Structure 1
Amino acid sequence: MPAANPVLIQDIPRSRNEPPPVFLIHDASGLLTSYFKVGTLGRKVYGIWDPKFDADGIGGWQSVKEIAEAYIRLIKRVMLRGEIVLGGWSFGGVLAVHIAHMLATSGRGLRVSRIILIDSVYPRCPRPEAQKEPAKLHHAPALPGINQETRDKLMTALMRATCLSDQWDPPSWALPRTGVLGTARSRDVDPTPPHAVLIRAKDLVPMADPAEKCPLDRTRFLPQLGWEDMLEGFVEQVIETSGNHYSVFDPEHRQDIPQHLVELIPATIRCCEPMVRDWQHQPDEHISANPPPGLYAVT
C-alpha cells in the first residue's frame, strides 16, 4: 500500500477560489480501485484507503466510529479548516455519513457541505422484507486476476466491513435543514445534516440461484435504499445509474458516474482545467498492470 493517505486522485491548478475538495472513502474492500476510473470532476479529489487493510480480523477496526475518528485525522493531513465534500461507494458512504456527523458536532474546523452516497445501502433497515440472510461465499464479488494472498485480505476486509455495518449505531440529525448545514448550534443539539444525495444502481446483482438475492439488494425495493428509515428527508435527491451494485464502475457504465457527480457537486467554480492523472485515460488492462497508489496489484 502507498505511504500517502489520503491519495490525490485528481488535481487542479491552484487558484484563489478553489472549490471544496472531494474526499472519497474506500468501499468494503478497503481499497480505492474504482475511484481511479472516475472521470474529471474539476476539483481536487482525494481517496482514503484502509490503513489496516493488511490486519487480520483481530487486529482490524472495532467500530465505524473508530474508523471515522481515524479518517478525520487523515483528512486533516491535507486540510485543517474549511468546506469539504464527502462521498463513498457502498460501505464508503456509511463511513462518510458518520465522519460528517462527527465533524458537525466537534467543531474541528472542517465542515461537510455535501455527502454523496454511491449505491450505499442503509445497513440498519428494520423492515422485515429487508432482513439480511447469513452471508455466503458466492455473495462476494468476483475477483479475477488476484493472487491468493490478496484475495484472502480482501475477503477479510469485506467480512469486517459487513460486521461493522451490522453493528453501526447511526448518528442523530436534526431536520429541517436550517442555518449552516453540517453544523450544530450547540453541543446539546443534534446537527443539521449536509445536503445528501444518492446515486442508485438500477439493476439487481445477478445470482446463480434466481431464488437468492444479493445482501446488497435487500433494500433495492426502497427508493432511497433504506436511508429513509434512518431519517426521512436525509437524502434530498436520488439519481439512478445503469448497472448493478458491483458493475457501476465497469467500462460500460462508469461514464455515468462522473456525469452524476458533476451534477451533484455544486460548481462553485468550474473555471479551472483539471490536471488529470495519466491513469484516468488508460484502459483497465493498463491500470491492472501498472496500478496507481491505492490499487491492489493483479497477477
Structure 2
Amino acid sequence: MGSMFDTNPNLIQEAPRHTYWPFAVKEATPLVLIHDGGGTVYSYHLLGELGRQVYGIFNPNYESGKRWEGGIPEMARHYLGLIKAVIPSGKIIIGGWSLGGLLSLEVAHLIAVDPQNTLDLLGIVMIDSVCPIVSTPPSVPIVPRTIQWSKHTKQETRERVLRCFDRAREMLMQWKLPEWAEAQPTGEQQEQGDGGHEKNTPPLEPKTASTNHTNARPPKVILLRAMEAVPAEGGIAMVDTHRDDRLLGWGQYREDLITTVMDIPGHHYNIFEMESTEAVTEAIRQACLKLEAGRKDQIW
C-alpha cells in the first residue's frame, strides 16, 4: 500500500498472490475508485481486503487548488487517461464514494462513446452517490455541513479539503449528466417489491443530459446506500435530499440506471469509520462479484 499522493492512480490494494486467499477470484477484475468531494482517497485505504487489485484516483489539483475549467467532463477525461495508464485494456470496474460515483458515470460515458475503446467496463459501484437532480425542494431547510476534524488534521489539509468541496459544488451546479440511448421498454427493467415479488417499472427518459448524443447504453450500476440520515439540527443535510428514495433520486435521471441497491450501515459521512468499514468492505466485494458474474438485475 503506497502513500496517497505519490502516484495517480494510487495502488491501494494489490491482487492476492496466494491461491488460498478466501476472497480471491481467478483473474479478478481490477477496481478503480475515484475520490470523493474532498479530493483524496484516504477513505479507500481504510477498506478491508477486496480480493482484487484496487486503485484510487485522487484530485491532482488537490494541492494547487486549480479549477477544472471544463468541469466534471474535463475531470472525467483526465481520469480516464489515468486509468488507461495502468489498465490499458481489458475488464475493469469503476466507482467511488459520493462525488466519485458521479465522476464514474461521466467516465463510463466516455468509454461507451469511444470508437477505439479498449476497456471492458463491467459496471459502476456507487458508494452513497446521490443524484444531483432535485426536482422538488425538500420541505425542511438544508443545513450546511460542519466537518468534525481530527485533532491530528493539519490546517493546510483542512483548507485543501474545504477548497475541493467548494470546487466540487461549483462544478455540480453546471454539470449536465451524460445522455444515453433510450431506456429499456417496460418489463425489461424489474424491481423487487414487497414480499420479494418482482414488479415491472416503467422507463423514464433522462431528465438532464449533455449534448453528446449516443446510442450507447449505461453500464450496470450498483448503489451502496447508507441507511441513516446525517444528524442535522433544524433540517437535513444536502446529501439526504433523496434519502427516503431507495434509488437516491436516480430515477429522475433514468429509472433503469441503478440495477441493484445494497444497504450499508451508517450515514453518508461515517460509512468509512471503524464500526462500518467491515460491512462496507463486504458490500463492495459483493458488488464487484455480482458485476463479474453478470447475474440478473434486481433491486434488493
User: Secondary structure, in 3 states, of the residue corresponding to 1:239?
Assistant: strand
Query: Partners of 2:256 and 2:87 in 1: how far apart?
Result: 30
2:169 — aligned with what? 162
User: Secondary structure, in 3 states, of the residue corresponding to 2:269?
Assistant: coil
Q: Is the 8 A contact 2:226 2:268 kept in 1?
A: yes
Consecutive aligned runs of 4 or more in structure 1 exceeding 6 Å deviation: none
Q: Is the 8 A contact 1:176 1:192 kept in 2?
A: no
Structure 1 residues 130 and 261, CA gap change in structure 2 (3 angstroms): farther
Query: Partners of 2:127 and 2:176 in 1: how far apart?
Result: 20
**1:17 to partner: Cα distance:** 5.2
Structure 2: give runs of 5+ residues left out of the alignment: 20-24, 189-211, 294-300
What are the superposed Cα offsets for residues 115-145 of structure 1, whole Å, 9 maximum, x if unpaired?
0110011112322338985x74xx1421222
1:230 — aligned with what? 253
2:219 — aligned with what? 194
What are the superposed Cα offsets for residues 239-258 of structure 1, whole Å, 9 maximum, x if unpaired?
11110000111111111111
Query: Partners of 2:45 and 2:85 in 1: how far apart?
Result: 21
2:296 — aligned with what? none
Q: Is the 8 A contact 1:131 1:218 kept in 2?
A: no
Query: Partners of 2:257 and 2:139 in 1: how far apart?
Result: 19
Q: Aligned pair 1:98/2:106, yes or no?
A: yes
TM-score (norm 2): 0.78
**1:168 to partner: Cα distance:** 1.2
CA RMSD, aligned part only?
2.4
Q: Is the 8 A contact 2:76 2:107 kept in 1?
A: yes
**1:203 to partner: Cα distance:** 0.8
**1:193 to partner: Cα distance:** 1.3
Q: Aligned pair 1:73/2:81, yes or no?
A: yes
**1:173 to partner: Cα distance:** 2.0
Query: Partners of 1:254 and 1:46 in 2: how far apart?
Result: 18
Structure 1 residues 188 and 163, CA gap change in structure 2 (3 angstroms): closer
- 1:237-248 to structure 2, matched below 5 A, reads 237-248=260-271
Q: Is the 8 A contact 1:104 1:111 kept in 2?
A: no
1:84 — aligned with what? 92
Query: Of 6, 11, 19, which residue of structure 2 is paired with 1:8?
Result: 11
Q: Aligned pair 1:109/2:132, yes or no?
A: no
2:228 — aligned with what? 203
Structure 1 residues 176 and 212, CA gap change in structure 2 (3 angstroms): same
What are the superposed Cα offsets for residues 224-279 of structure 1, whole Å, 9 maximum, x if unpaired?
1111111011001111111000011111111111111121112759xxxxxxxxxx
Query: Partners of 2:42 and 2:126 in 1: how far apart?
Result: 17
Structure 1: give runs of 5+ residues left out of the alignment: 179-186, 270-299
Amino acid at match of 1:43: R
User: Secondary structure, in 3 states, of the residue corresponding to 2:45?
Assistant: helix
Structure 1 residues 232 and 132, CA gap change in structure 2 (3 angstroms): farther
How many residue pairs end up in the alignment?
A: 254
Amino acid at match of 1:9: I
1:48 — aligned with what? 57
Structure 1 residues 88 and 130, CA gap change in structure 2 (3 angstroms): farther
Q: Per chain length, whose mean CA-contact separation is higher, i.e. which structure has more relative contact order (CA < 8 Å, sep 6+)? A: 1
**1:41 to partner: Cα distance:** 1.3
Amino acid at match of 1:245: H
Q: Is the 8 A contact 1:81 1:110 kept in 2?
A: yes
